């Protein structure tokens, strides 16, 4: 998949322009979030003590690209749950989150796929499980390296 997507502003509609495999446009409804903003909003909801969060998310990963995403937010944990987690996560709060991805405007009760992750306040994801019906993939954070600040 190739293309670009833009929103008219926060909370406003936008358009995804696909160029490959074929040219076409997809209208993005008002309130659509891109993945990074969805992560930030999920963390905001967690910090506020909310346990459920729903939004439309466009990731452009397939021809549909637009998903309704339900997030179930667990209790706050102070620091890593795993004693072998990288030292950089010590003292950083985290939340276990379950994400269910539904194709846009789907009436299905079952999500297309799910994710289960521990998400730290700083955006680091640990122990991510991607579930795709017949199979799942589990990722484990082994190393965390701080990047130098950019030259701006």
Residue 80: the pLDDT is: 80
Phi and psi, residue 122, nearest 5°: -85, 5
Q: Is 131 contained in some domain?
A: yes
CA angle 73, 85, 51 (to 5 degrees): 5
**Sign (positive/negative) of CA torsion 146, 10, 60, 95?**
positive
For 56-101, write each residue's pLDDT tens digit: 999 888 777 899 999 999 999 998 877 778 888 989 999 999 999 9
Q: Is 9 contained in some domain?
A: no
pLDDT higher than 80, residue 45 = yes
- pTM beyond 0.85: yes
Count of structural domains within the chain: 1
Neighbours of 39 (CB within 10 A): 18
Q: Is 42 contained in some domain?
A: yes
Answer whether 26's CB lies under 8 Å from 16's CB.
yes
Measured distance CA(106)–CA(120) in Å, rounded: 30
Q: Is 126 contained in some domain?
A: yes
Residue 65: the pLDDT is: 80
- What is the band of 8 on the pLDDT scale with cuts at 50, 70, 90? very high
Q: Who contacts 23 (Cβ-Cβ below 8 Å, separation ≥6)?
A: none
What's the domain range around 94?
31-139
Residue 116: the pLDDT is: 97
Beta bridge partners of 113: 101
> What percent of the chain stands above pLDDT 90?
62
Which helix (H) or strand (E) is 56 found in, with range? strand 52-58
For 92-149, write each residue's pLDDT tens digit: 999 999 999 998 877 888 899 999 999 999 999 988 999 998 999 999 888 888 888 8
Answer whether 42's CB lies under 8 Å from 97's CB.
yes
């Amino acid at each position: 998949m190739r293309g670009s997507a833009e929103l008219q502003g926060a909370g406003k509609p936008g358009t995804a322009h696909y160029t490959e495999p074929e040219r076409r446009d997809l209208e993005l409804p008002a309130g659509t979030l891109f993945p990074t903003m969805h992560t930030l909003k999920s963390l905001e909801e967690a910090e506020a003590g909310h346990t459920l969060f729903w939004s439309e998310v466009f990731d452009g990963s397939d021809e549909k690209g637009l998903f309704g995403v339900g997030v179930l937010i667990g209790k706050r944990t102070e620091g890593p749950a795993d004693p072998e987690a990288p030292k950089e996560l010590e003292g950083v709060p985290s939340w276990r989150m379950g994400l269910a991805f539904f194709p846009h405007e789907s009436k299905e009760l079952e999500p297309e796929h799910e994710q289960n992750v521990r998400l730290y306040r700083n955006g680091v994801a640990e122990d991510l499980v991607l579930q795709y019906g017949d199979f799942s993939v589990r990722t484990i954070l082994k190393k965390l390296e701080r990047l130098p600040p950019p030259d701006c």
